[in-house]
Structure 1
Amino acid sequence: MTSGRNNLYSILDAPEPQAIRPLFGLSHQQLTVLSQEFSLPAYRARQLSQALYRDRVDSLEALTTLPQSVREQMRAAGYEVGRPRIAETFRSVDGTERYLIATADGQTVETVWMPEGDDGEAGDGSEAGEEEVLTIEQGGHHDATICVSSQIGCAVNCQFCLTAKLGIIRNLTPGEIAGQVVAVLDRHKVRIGRDRINLVFMGMGEPFLNYDAFMDAVRLLVNEVGIAESRMTVSTSGIVPGIERFATEPVRPKLALSLNASNDAVREQVMPITRKWDIAALMDAIRKVPLRPRERVTFEYVLLGGVNDQPEHASEVIRLVRRCGLPAKVNLIAWNPGPGIPYTMPAPASVERFQQALIAAGIPAFLRRPRGRDIYAACGQLKRTVEA
């Protein structure tokens, strides 16, 4: 198991005098080194991990498992809990909440809480996916889902996405990525192990362009917070080196590829990154990912009115999925509108026709429910707006 050595500073490196040294984001191994720095016994690292990630303390004052004298020494050395905080909340008519999460340097990033999910996990072969299928069939209660960001802004420049208009501002640290999750869990009093929760790394940014920090955050969420990786999904626009690294990870979320077109010509139009890695290269990389028993690769497909939603596009998607040679499913997403984006929503009849064509060909196809459109919380709408 890797340690994210490339993107986490050494605990023992002296910071600038004014710098805050966040405890949140440190792994158990790093907390052990920290305990040694303050001449604390090894069990203090376990207590610190419990307090930060399970008890969700948000200040040194609340870290009462440590003696006050130790807390004072930590503060004098520049340490704070340093967990990202919810700065502003917007609530949709459908119960979805969008948060502006504040970071230590004054930036904000967006995170979304969907109290009943959006059916994105349905049919992916995991426990969460099977629960979603039963829920859809029976009309019961969905699991809650948190949509998590990995960068502030995005460099991929998908033409249908509002986040692309921000450009890339910076990468998030492991603590800033995992901290979004813990802040939302804390807000909704989610009990890990009792309440069912899913995570989708589909917010701002391209996770595989911030690979080390993203995977360190995954390990924090699995090992320290206690969320199973089978309840996590990461979406990539198609960063081939990232997919190939991902294939070697012993602990990893489920994989979703943002396909969004049935051929290279259309995909290059809507996703310029196709000029670097075409669909054939993506399929070659995905075949290297070892799937768990019953697991399916997810292809995400945003339907753009008149652009990629016609019967011939559905036929091409069917051929692509079959040639992929892996157990797969397709998530269809009716494009969520945003100001200044030159596309239109697909007609409901086109969406239905597209889905039924895939199902008739034996390919599981699910329509992701739009959540939070009225507060700019839906897929492709995240842009750090302060509008409701």
Structure 2
Amino acid sequence: MERAALFGMSLPELMERMGALGQKLYRARQVWEALYKQRVSSVEEMTVLPAELRARLTDEGAVVGMPEIVQAAVSVDGTERYLMRMADGETVETVWMPDGDGGERGDGTEAALEEEVLEGREGNEGSRPVDKVDKRNWGALAAAGYRRATICISSQVGCAVNCQFCLTAKLGIKRNLTAGEIAGQVAAVLNRHGVKIGKDRINLVFMGMGEPFLNYEAFIASVRLLVEGIGIPESRMTVSTSGIEPAIRRFAQETLRPKLALSLNASNDVVREQIMPITRKWNIAQLLDAVRTIPMGKRDWVTFEYVLLGGVNDQPEHAREVLALLKGMHAKVNLIVWNPGPGIAYTQPDPESVAVFQKMLIDGGMPTYIRRPRGRDIYAACGQLKRTVSEPELVTIGA
């Protein structure tokens, strides 16, 4: 009998399913709550349903179908990298970063205020000032001992974009993930850590394997599940794109919209095309024009990610070009010191070059931050995910 996953179904879809079983529609709401609020792992755990209905669902092949964590690696900095297995056996990697990596700093959201105040970063590294009311509120939260973490989610099995500095690019593309498989990564990690939504502060970044905007429908559907079902607001989500121009324009029209981070990574088309071949299809000017169509409130900021590659895009002339490109935009820049990987012929910039680059952007009026590398020792950092299945640091779950 073919198994049918319930996790990933919307409330209207669950209502249709319950109706087909001759059930009253309130049963759909009960299943919805069990799937996304309680995050159950089996139909039998849906104890709010009558035993007869649970048995019928099971007999008809219904399963929760949440992705399964099958391996884990733990970094010296507390970061955890998971190998997630889908129902068909395909795998992706998902990352848990306690306290995050600083990616939210300066973007004007609640997550940014937590980052800046709780770690004493206000006024540093180009950050904007935080008002005293915010400081008092977040200070109280810190004293209460609540948890704050970021989960990095994959959207595809592999990736088709072929960025030359990224290990994931070497995998190629196998298939898109479904909305349930994308949101299910989050649910599986939340369960592993016993997270309580509403008490613990969780941020999500769609920055794992794959290009979210090349799997647009499933990505947006997963956002709805995460917001309406699991209860994580879109203001705590960031989606990173290599630059799919039509999808950025479509994204601008969404009513439920996470924050956007564009992987710029170069200050001109010549360099960007060398390290990001997708530039041949949509150049920097086209991407910036698309980004400008996104409605922006006073506290909304677009993030531009910039991976610094030694001797390639990290020189003062590149910093000056970045300032010229982003002049007048409601933007901030996250600098990412390249995370090395086997078989990739780039080098890390020296610390002095990184410091000079950041200072030039800040002095030019562009808020600029350096993302903290998390989990480099276990290949969990930006650009290092590679569906690892056999490394010494991996622990098979349940073994």
State the AA in 1 paired with 2:269: D
Q: How many residues align?
A: 369
Q: Given the alignment, which residue of 333, 357, 362 partners 2:360?
A: 357
Aligned-residue offset at 1:106: 0.6
- Name the structure 1 match of 2:375: 372
Identity over aligned pairs, percent: 66
Q: 1-side partners of 2:329 and 2:22: how far apart?
A: 52
8 A Cα contact 2:115 2:121, kept in partner:
no
User: 2-side partners of 1:55 and 1:293: how far apart?
Assistant: 36
Paired residue for 1:76?
59
- How big is the shift at 1:99? 0.2
Secondary structure of the residue aligned to 1:193 is: coil
RMSD: 1.2
The within-5 A match list for 1:214-233 is 214-233=219-238
| Distance of 1:101 and 1:206 partners within structure 2 | 18
Give the letter for the 2:45 counterpart.
A
Q: Evaluate the alpha carbon distance shift between residue 279 and residue 138 of structure 1 in structure 2; reply closer, same or farther with a 3 A threshold.
A: closer
Letter paired with 1:103? M
Aligned partners of 1:364 and 1:382: how far apart in 2?
Answer: 28
Q: Hey, what's the Cα distance between the residues in 2 that align with 1:47 and 1:181?
A: 21
Whether 1:327 and 2:330 are equivalent positions in the alignment is yes
Counterpart in the other structure of 1:181: 186
Alignment-derived partner of residue 132 in structure 1: 115
Question: 85, 91, 108: which one pairs with 2:74?
Answer: 91
Q: Distance in 1 between matches of 2:63 and 2:238?
A: 30
Residues of 1 paired with 2:205 and 2:118: CA distance? 19
| Counterpart-to-counterpart distance in 2, 1:95 and 1:368 | 16
> What residue in structure 1 maps to residue 2 of structure 2?
19
Residues 163 and 383, structure 1, Cα contact 8 Å, conserved in 2: yes
| TM-score normalized with structure 1 length | 0.93
For 1:134, give the aligned amino acid: V
Q: Do structure 1's residue 165 and structure 2's residue 170 form an aligned pair?
A: yes
* Per-residue deviation, 1:365: 0.3
The 5 Å alignment of 1:147-166 reads 147-166=152-171
Residue in 1 aligned with 2:305?
Answer: 300
- Report the AA paired with residue 358 of structure 1: L
Match of 1:340 in 2: 343
- Tell me the CA shift for residue 45 of structure 1: 1.3
Asked if residue 63 in structure 1 is aligned to residue 50 in structure 2, the reply is no
Q: Alpha-carbon deviations, 1:194-226, whole Å to 9, x = none? A: 110100000000000000000000000000110
* Aligned 1:21-60 pairs, distance under 5 A: 21-60=4-43
Runs of 4+ in structure 1 displaced over 2 angstroms?
A: 135-143
Cα distance in 1 for residues equivalent to 2:371 and 2:19: 48
Q: Which amino acid aligns with 2:302?
A: V
Residue identity opposite 1:285 in structure 2: A
Q: What is the CA–CA distance in structure 2 between the aligned matches of 1:361 and 1:135, rounded to whole Å? A: 27
Tell me the equivalent position of 1:255: 260
**CA shift digits 1:86-141 (9 cap, x unpaired):** 11110000000000001000111100000010000000111111222223425997
Q: Residues 20-55 of structure 1: CA distance to partner in whole angstroms, max 9, x if unpaired? A: 110000111111111111111121111111111111
Given candidates 382, 385, 393, the residue that maps to 1:382 is 385
5+ residue gaps in structure 1? Answer: 1-17
3-state SS, counterpart of residue 61 of structure 1: helix
Contact map agreement 2:235 2:258 (CA 8 A) in 1: yes
CA distance in 2, matches of 1:54, 1:178: 13
Deviations 1:274-319 (A, max 9, x none): 0000000001100111123311000000000000000000000011
State the alpha-carbon separation in 1 of the partners of residues 298 and 267 from structure 2: 28
* Contact 2:72-2:80 within 8 A present in 1 as well: yes
Amino acid at match of 2:212: P
